[in-house]
Structure 1
Amino acid sequence: FLNNDVFYYQDVRFIGTTLWTDYKLDGRYNQSDVMNIVENILSDHRYIKFGTDGFFTTQHALMLHNTARNFLQEELNKTWEGKTVVITHHAPSLQCAHPDYQLDQIAGAFISDCEELVAKADLWLYGHTHANVDFQIGKCRVVSNQLGYERERVPVAFRPELIIEI
């Protein structure tokens, strides 16, 4: 279980966190408006229980995002001579937006602008958006290769043969 934790294997550092979103996108929408819309639309907030607080709210997600972002910043600032792979559930860049939704308000539930952190890694793997990508941000390769739900049309097909050399 790699949530806000680091695993070292030979000369590779794996940093993992869920990285819930900050609901800010690129600033075109009011953050609290996005949080209200997302909380009313996404089933996560109707089905996921959170401690003794009842259901998992966007406020909880934002709190966890801030914790994760601070964790990533701290870990990525540590000196490491090998390669660094970051693994998150949520997407770390606005460039990861699903092409059918782009940067609408619901996209705030899936992605955050963390490109200043992405630039410090060699490889960043993520999921959650139901859109597959493979592109560069600086020296970092950003990859998502999601199968998606059964009968779902994923914009770029899942690549079962994908192997990434680090």
Structure 2
Amino acid sequence: MRLQLLSDLHLETERYVPTPAPGAELLVLAGDIDATWRGFEHFRGWPVPVLFVPGNHEFDGRDVDDARDALRAHVQALGLRMLDDEAVVIADARGRRVRFAGSTRWCDFDAFGPAGRERAMRAGGYFQKVMQATRHGQPFGVEAVRALALDSRAWLAGELQRTGDWDATVAITHFAPSLRSADPRYGRQPGTASFCNDDEALLPGAALWLHGHLHCRQDYRIGATRVASNARGHARKGEADGFDGQWVIEVFAPA
């Protein structure tokens, strides 16, 4: 199965018109498409199925739980399928069945281990203030983010351990599953734990792991799992330089 992958388009401020990639059988949107949600209109009538995993900025200025339900209804009305702690099996043109396990997978601030958690959470407070989101009537601060992150990690771990009638598994998260995805411009610092999780123990459950969030492109392997992102980012910062919106990645290795 050939997948077109896009994330971090930030259409709330960026001028970019996504177009279908020739030969792609499915489009994956790995989050931070448009904080206003208006940009999802670009994907109405897309010629292949579209799977969407929410990014953190889809929740900006909103109640996280209310926004999750409203966002699902919004994109569903446009013909997209949202996955957030959910899985779906889709067959490709050759009849091979692919399980897609999708989760925003918020950061748990343990990318540097429990010893680094306190510093990571202090650094993460800045990003949560920028979001201005709430949950249960309270600010969506680092403690609330971590609680939600641990729930989503537990779901993802359980889902990736399941066996079933499929030929391959693709995990889709907004937050990265490994520090190897860290943006080279900034290196590894406490704030990196707001972008990357330590989910390397979960990687064997997926042949392919797609993510967004960091405004740089990645394509590497850890063991038998290929990890990839195709984030566009902000053009004014030069992050879109080299971005290829027509990039396609294969689930199955060539025969």
1:4 equivalenced with 2:85 (yes/no): yes
Cα 1:25/1:153, change in 2 over 3 Å: same
- Distance in 1, matches of 2:240 and 2:189, equals 17
Task: Count residues with an aligned counterpart.
Answer: 164
Residue in structure 2 matched with residue 61 of structure 1 by the alignment = 145
- Distance in 2, matches of 1:52 and 1:63, equals 13
3-state DSSP of counterpart to 1:65: helix
Tell whether the 8 Å contact from 1:25 to 1:111 is kept in structure 2 after alignment.
yes
**Post-superposition shift, 1:50?**
2.1
- Distance in 2, matches of 1:102 and 1:46, equals 21
What stretches of structure 2 of length at least 5 have no aligned partner? 1-81, 92-96
Instruction: In structure 2, give the amino acid aligned to 1:4.
Output: D
Cα 1:46/1:98, change in 2 over 3 Å: closer
1:34 equivalenced with 2:120 (yes/no): yes
Match of 2:103 among 9, 12, 17: 17
Tell whether the 8 Å contact from 1:34 to 1:108 is kept in structure 2 after alignment.
yes
- Distance in 2, matches of 1:160 and 1:111, equals 23
Tell whether the 8 Å contact from 1:97 to 1:129 is kept in structure 2 after alignment.
yes
- Could you tell me the TM-score, scaled by structure 1's length? 0.90
Instruction: In structure 2, give the amino acid aligned to 1:32.
Output: E
Residue in structure 2 matched with residue 50 of structure 1 by the alignment = 134
Match of 2:161 among 71, 74, 77: 77
Tell whether the 8 Å contact from 2:176 to 2:213 is kept in structure 1 after alignment.
yes
Instruction: In structure 2, give the amino acid aligned to 1:22.
Output: D
1:98 equivalenced with 2:179 (yes/no): no
Instruction: In structure 1, give the amino acid aligned to 2:86.
Output: D
Q: Deviations over 1:1-32 (max 9, x none)?
A: 21000111120000000111121222396312
Q: Percent identity?
A: 32
Tell whether the 8 Å contact from 2:111 to 2:197 is kept in structure 1 after alignment.
yes
Match of 1:122 among 186, 194, 207: 207
3-state DSSP of counterpart to 1:151: helix
Instruction: In structure 1, give the amino acid aligned to 2:242.
Output: A
Tell whether the 8 Å contact from 2:234 to 2:240 is kept in structure 1 after alignment.
no
- Distance in 2, matches of 1:26 and 1:46, equals 23
TM-align CA RMSD: 1.9
Tell whether the 8 Å contact from 1:7 to 1:14 is kept in structure 2 after alignment.
yes
Instruction: In structure 1, give the amino acid aligned to 2:123.
Output: I
**Post-superposition shift, 1:82?**
1.2
What stretches of structure 1 of length at least 5 have no aligned partner? none
Residue in structure 2 matched with residue 151 of structure 1 by the alignment = 236
Question: Which structure's CA Rg is the greater one?
Answer: 2
**Post-superposition shift, 1:140?**
1.2
Tell whether the 8 Å contact from 1:5 to 1:16 is kept in structure 2 after alignment.
yes
**Post-superposition shift, 1:120?**
1.5
- Distance in 1, matches of 2:158 and 2:124, equals 29
Q: Deviations over 1:78-120 (max 9, x none)?
A: 0134110111100000101110122101101100110111122
